[in-house]
């Protein structure tokens, strides 16, 4: 397994539409394993392929010790509304409240190519919606009010100097703020 570099806000890959996966190959399974390792190292709860510079429609999430692989995920049911403070591994140290559906059912293929349906509320539901957004070039900051987004983008202008080439390397001693443990996705 290998830890992958995470692309940060400004890299055009984060705004690209992904392409449907037609076959789960050993190479794709290797990418899945590398993404899970990268998500763990970055102390995240979710990671989507564009965040590691890839265009496959693929994301991984892990909430309460349960990991899910989402290949070609689609939301097939949604209800209610929930507000959650979100952050993104591609926009480090920036957080904001986002309103999403309170409960979703996601249909996807798993690592073995079998179709599964995953129901999620709270963090799992929020995280799956955040990752599916990534697969369509959308970021959590797009959900913020104009005023809040303007503020966040100004903050990011200073932050992004830390990431030469718009790539974030995840180090062993990554010491992200534990107050945001359920928010990095």
Which residues form the catalytic set? 131
Neighbours of 150 (CB within 10 A): 11
**Nearer residue to Ni ion within complex by CB, 24 or 183:** 183
Rounded to a whole number of angstroms, the minimum distance from the CB of residue 75 to Ni ion is: 17
Q: Which is nearer to Ni ion, 31 or 185 (CB)?
A: 185
Using an 8 Å Cβ cutoff, are 83 and 167 in contact?
Answer: no
DSSP result, 67-124: EEEEEEEEEEEEES-EEEEEEETTEEEEEEEEEE-SEEEEEEE-TTS-EEEEEEEHHH
Of 133, 148, 146, 171, nearest in space to 57 by CA: 133
Residue nearest to Ni ion according to CB distances in the complex = 88
Whichever of 42 and 88 has its CB closer to Ni ion, that residue is 88
Does position 31 bind Ni ion by CB under 5 A? no
- In this complex, which beta carbon is closest to Ni ion, that of residue 49 or of residue 71? 49
- Interacting span for Ni ion (CB under 5 A) from 18-26, 63-71, 85-93, 119-127: 85-93
Cα dihedral sign for 61, 62, 68, 74? Answer: negative
Q: Interface with Ni ion by CB under 5 A: which range of 9-17, 82-90, 153-161, 167-175?
A: 82-90
- As measured in angstroms, the least distance from the Cβ of 42 to Ni ion is 11
Site residue total, Ni ion (CB under 5 A): 2
Give the separation between CA 125 and CA 106, rounded to whole angstroms: 9
Q: Which residues lie below 8 Å from residue 30, measured CB to CB, with a gap of 6+?
A: none
128 binds Ni ion (CB under 5 A): no
- Is residue 88 near Ni ion by the rule CB under 5 A? yes
Q: Contact residues for Ni ion (CB under 5 A)?
A: 88, 185
């Amino acid at each position: 397994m290998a830890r992958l570099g995470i692309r940060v806000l400004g890299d055009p890959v984060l705004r690209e539409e992904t392409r449907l996966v037609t076959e789960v190959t050993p190479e794709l399974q290797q990418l899945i394993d590398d993404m899970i390792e990268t998500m763990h190292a970055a102390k995240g709860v979710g990671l989507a392929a564009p965040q590691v510079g890839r265009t496959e429609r693929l994301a991984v999430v892990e909430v309460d010790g349960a990991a899910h692989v989402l290949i070609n995920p689609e939301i097939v049911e949604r209800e209610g509304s929930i507000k959650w403070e979100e952050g993104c591994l591609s926009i480090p140290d920036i957080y904001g409240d986002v309103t999403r559906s309170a409960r979703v059912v996601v249909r996807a293929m798993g690592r073995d190519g079998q179709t599964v349906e995953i129901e999620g509320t709270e963090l799992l539901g929020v995280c799956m919606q955040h990752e599916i957004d990534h697969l369509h070039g959308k970021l959590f900051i797009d959900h913020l009010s104009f005023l809040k987004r303007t503020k966040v983008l100004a903050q990011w202008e200073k932050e992004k100097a830390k990431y030469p080439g718009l790539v974030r390397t995840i180090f062993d001693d990554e010491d992200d703020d534990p107050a945001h443990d359920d928010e990095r996705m």
